[in-house]
Amino acid sequence: MALLMPQKEPAGRVYLRSVSPNGTITLHLLSSKSRVAPLKQVSLPRLEVNAALLLSQLVDKVHRALNLQIVQRFYWTDSTVVLAWIAGCSSTWKTCGQQSPEIKRLTTYLAWRHVASQDNPADIISRGTDPRRLEGNQLWWAGPSWPSKDPSSWPAQPPADPEKVPEWRGVKLCCITIYSEIESLFKRFSNWAKLQRVFAYILRFLYKLKQGAASGRHGPLTSTKLRKSLIVIARITQHSSFAQEIQSLQQGKALPSHSKHLTLHPFLDGNNLLRVDCRLENADVPFDQKHPLILPSKHHVTKLLIWNEHIRLLHAGSQLLLACKISSFAVTAILDN
């Protein structure tokens, strides 16, 4: 014996297909169940997958209640999208994220088949009908004609390719930044002002990619863009040289005992930049002077900063350079030894 279950949207029907010793095949209606669509607007694909779940649960209940040996179970749906969802990974789809695992627990993908809408008895109840019309409805009581024939004459099954389903998919994006390649870009510049402006244009270009070409970002670079460019360059420089210290602070752990920055009591600011926590907390000076950035002494960016300020201040001495204003961004550079 085999159970044949056509289904449509929030309705399912269970039929028992039996084969007698003389080869006679009969089909009998065992159970039917339907649910009213929710008042909240729900997409058709979600109703389809809810119907597949309802059918899976109904068949499981009927199978446990029958005192018969069921040789094989078939699940029929007129939705190729549902077939593709069941065949694919449940985490890929937004619509069937919760239903698909339960369907896979109660059924197997190989047991699911596609049926044309005109041969689906569940359409009768899901689309509404007069009860007086059911008495003589052969499709309702006995199902379509082809289940009473040899399985070789059943409808051909379309390929269920999850990659071709026109449905929104949840995409997990992993972005990896390779700082070594960015640092090679740094070394192409021998002038700090040019490096800062180039990165400011890059940031503007990335903003246009996210917001669209009509974002209105054009014209000369503003001081805000140059400031953001400096922050990005400083962040890349610190991550390439102080990755272990930054990772420890992000995880709320203490710095390694061998770290040469322990005496500086470093912390991460709102821009994820490594700064010094010194005794100037109550001083009436800007935040960038209270908590200077920590820069690697031998890095190319640091050398460009120092040389730029050295020329701008008419060859100023080292003490003045360590407490200067760099490119309209107040920052005291603490160079690690």
Q: What is the mean pLDDT of residues 63-69?
A: 85
Q: Is 99 in the same domain as 60?
A: yes
The residue with tokens 């005992």 is 257
Q: What does the pLDDT read at residue 176?
A: 58
Domain final residue, candidates 164, 192, 219: 164
Domain final residue, candidates 115, 131, 164: 164
240 sits in the region (left: phi over 0; alpha: psi -120 to 50; else beta) called: alpha
Asked whether 192 and 305 are in contact (CB, 8 A), the reply is yes
Q: Is 27 in the same domain as 93?
A: yes
Q: In Å, how far from its chain's centre is CA 246? A: 27
- Which CATH number does the domain housing residue 46 bear? 3.30.420
Flag whether 60 is in a domain.
Answer: yes
- The DSSP line for 164-216 is G--S-B---------HHHHHHHHTT-S-HHHHHHHHHHHHHHHHHHHH-GGG-
Q: Is 91 in the same domain as 157?
A: yes
When mean pLDDT is compared across 207-211, 265-269, 272-276, the lowest value belongs to 207-211
Residue 9, classed as helix, strand or coil, is: coil
SS3 content of the chain, % helix, strand, coil (to 5): 45, 15, 40
User: What is the domain range of residue 160?
Assistant: 2-164
Flag whether 331 is in a domain.
Answer: yes
100-138 residue pLDDT tens: 778 888 888 788 888 887 787 777 777 667 777 777 777
Strands 294-296 and 325-326 turn out to be unpaired
Flag whether 14 is in a domain.
Answer: yes
Q: Is 304 in the same domain as 206?
A: yes
Asked whether 143 and 59 are in contact (CB, 8 A), the reply is no
Domain count, the chain: 2
| pLDDT bucket at 174, cuts 50 / 70 / 90 | low
Q: How many angstroms separate the Cα of 46 from the Cα of each of 11, 207, 292?
A: 13, 35, 55
Q: Is 256 in the same domain as 312?
A: yes
Flag whether 172 is in a domain.
Answer: no
270: amino acid identity, one letter: G
Residue 307, classed as helix, strand or coil, is: helix
Instruction: Give me 188's structure tokens.
Output: 């192409």
pLDDT, greater one: 85 or 19 = 19
Alpha carbon distance 88, 67 (integer Å): 34
pLDDT surpassing 50 at residue 315? yes
Q: Is 159 in the same domain as 20?
A: yes
Cβ neighbours, 10 Å, residue 154 = 16
Asked whether 290 and 281 are in contact (CB, 8 A), the reply is yes
Alpha carbon distance 5, 77 (integer Å): 8
Q: Is 158 in the same domain as 183?
A: no
pLDDT surpassing 60 at residue 332? no
pTM beyond cutoff 0.75: no
Q: Is 185 in the same domain as 147?
A: no
Nearest CA to 318 out of 337, 335, 296 is that of 335
Flag whether 173 is in a domain.
Answer: no
Q: Is 236 in the same domain as 156?
A: no
220-250 residue pLDDT tens: 888 888 889 989 998 888 888 888 888 888 8
Domain final residue, candidates 104, 135, 164: 164
Flag whether 170 is in a domain.
Answer: no
Flag whether 138 is in a domain.
Answer: yes
Alpha-carbon torsion, ordered 296, 299, 304, 306, to 10 deg: 30
Flag whether 48 is in a domain.
Answer: yes
pLDDT surpassing 50 at residue 330? no
Q: Is 95 in the same domain as 131?
A: yes
Instruction: Give me 273's structure tokens.
Output: 């930049």
Q: Is 82 in the same domain as 9?
A: yes
Q: What does the pLDDT read at residue 197?
A: 92
Please state the length of the chain: 337
pLDDT, greater one: 90 or 22 = 22
Range among 159-168, 300-309, 315-324 with highest mean pLDDT value: 300-309
Q: Is 113 in the same domain as 216?
A: no
